Amino acid sequence: MKSGVEPLVNDGFAGEPAKRCVGYVQSQREKGKNVVGIYCTYGPLEVVRAAGAVPAVLCAFADKTIAAAEEDLPANLCPLIKSSYGFIKTDTCPFYSLADVVIGETTCDGKKKMFELIAGIKPTHVMDLPQLPDQKEALENWTEMVKKLKGFLETTLKTQISDEAVEAEIQHSNVKNKLLNTILDFAALTPTPLTWQEMYDLTYLGQAASTADMMKVMEDALAKVQKRVADGVFHGQPDSPRVLVTGTPVGGDATKVFKIIEESGGVIVALDLCTGLKPYAGHIEEGAADPYRAISKRYLEIPCACMTPNDRRLSELDRLIEKFKPDAVIDVVLHACHGYSIESTKVKKHIEGKHKLPYLKIETDYSQSDVGQIRTRVAATLEMVHK
């Protein structure tokens, strides 16, 4: 991007989405709203918002709390879990401090067992996530879990959640998701007018902020990106290799991978991640007889590697590849995330076989010790695009 181009979200926090979100959640708290900590994209935000609460994502991406976590947790555990736990242990997580209650989902063993260690600190509600999403019982069971969440929030936050409020939040989510995707779809242009940082910033904020509060941010961002296109302003070079990033959530210290891709001459055009497009990909049925069932159906479609089979991940990759036209796919897997790590065998075969695209798997954590090695491997992959 040429220097002097205004960031899409120009509030002084460009590149610091966590700080922006802390400010947002804090401001909501000062208005009297309860705060509900969530750990996963499967956490049904519409029910949280229908309770009059603001969601705060508790997944952490900082290396600095890992050492404290490793006093209690095995070193060979996913850094996202260790970092999140370390923040709680050292009482330094601003989101956790603001949270009145916490929701966890049984996605992977590490998270499940971590919830047990923190359950006594704040009221913590664990939702049993079905992991065979295509079995007919899955929808029944997850609907039941979402309804149990309603009961938990009503009891602990001393509130009532009406079906009308849930329906209104479904409609709000659909509006937000549609507009956010309209903005992010501009990365399908060659060259792209968006940076990975802008895509990351917007999607990060969208998890916490209500549709009403996101509206002005999104409308401003849309106007700016439209102006960039009209003015011929773009990111990278017209022939920069276009990269789709898929895999585990990538944020904070792990964004070293995004930076390396960019420093190696690539441009990131799609983030197929929970810290990217995944939370915004679906549409929830409006006006359904049972709004909880409609919510459950949409959330069960999230293609996380904790599901089996997880064929939706491959069909979602097909959709994104067709739209964003990447020249290469980079699969980022956090250390010790066995679900995503094993699934990468299927993803590699799919990308190289069906799409004939270069594929690179990067296993990493939040330290900076592997930056040199990642740089060499990314450069070699992007070099293939030019051959």
Give me the residues that bind ligand SF4 (CB under 6 A), please.
Answer: 40-42, 78, 80-81, 107-108, 110-111, 248-249, 274, 302, 304, 306, 334, 337, 339-340
Residue number with CB closer to ligand SF4 (111 or 242): 111
The least CB distance from residue 343 to ligand SF4, in Å, is: 10
The least CB distance from residue 247 to ligand SF4, in Å, is: 8
- The pair phi, psi for residue 319, each rounded to 5°, is -60, -45
Beta-carbon contacts of residue 225 (< 8 Å; ≥ 6 apart): 8, 183, 186, 193, 194
Residue number with CB closer to ligand SF4 (59 or 157): 59
**How far are the Cα atoms of 46, 97, 138, 139, 149 from residue 293, in angstroms, in the given order?**
12, 32, 11, 7, 13
Residue number with CB closer to ligand SF4 (227 or 283): 283
DSSP 313-351: HHHHHHHHHHHH--SEEEEEEETT-HHHHHHHHHHHHII
Return the half-sphere exposure (C-beta side, CA atoms, 13 A cut-off) of residue 209.
24
| C-beta contacts of 87-94 below 8 A and 24+ residues apart | 87/60, 87/62, 88/118, 88/121, 89/65, 90/65, 92/65, 93/58, 93/60, 94/22, 94/26
Residue number with CB closer to ligand SF4 (172 or 278): 278
CB-based contact 132:13 (threshold 8 Å): no
User: CA–CA separation, 217 vs 206, rounded Å?
Assistant: 10
Residue number with CB closer to ligand SF4 (43 or 241): 43
User: CA–CA separation, 332 vs 246, rounded Å?
Assistant: 6
**Residue 357 CA, distance from chain mean position:** 24
Residue with tokens 């923040």: 87
Residue number with CB closer to ligand SF4 (279 or 291): 279
Work out whether the CA dihedral 85, 88, 93, 97 comes out positive or negative: positive
Return the half-sphere exposure (C-beta side, CA atoms, 13 A cut-off) of residue 368.
6
Residue number with CB closer to ligand SF4 (332 or 385): 332
The helix (H) or strand (E) run that includes residue 110 is helix 109-118
Query: What value does the CA radius of gyration of the chain take, rounded to a whole number of Å?
Result: 20
CB atoms within 10 A of CB 62: 19
The least CB distance from residue 74 to ligand SF4, in Å, is: 12
- The pair phi, psi for residue 35, each rounded to 5°, is -120, 130
Residue number with CB closer to ligand SF4 (59 or 202): 59
Residue number with CB closer to ligand SF4 (77 or 225): 77
Beta 53-57 vs 34-38: how paired, if at all? parallel
The least CB distance from residue 93 to ligand SF4, in Å, is: 16
The least CB distance from residue 219 to ligand SF4, in Å, is: 28
Residue number with CB closer to ligand SF4 (313 or 350): 313
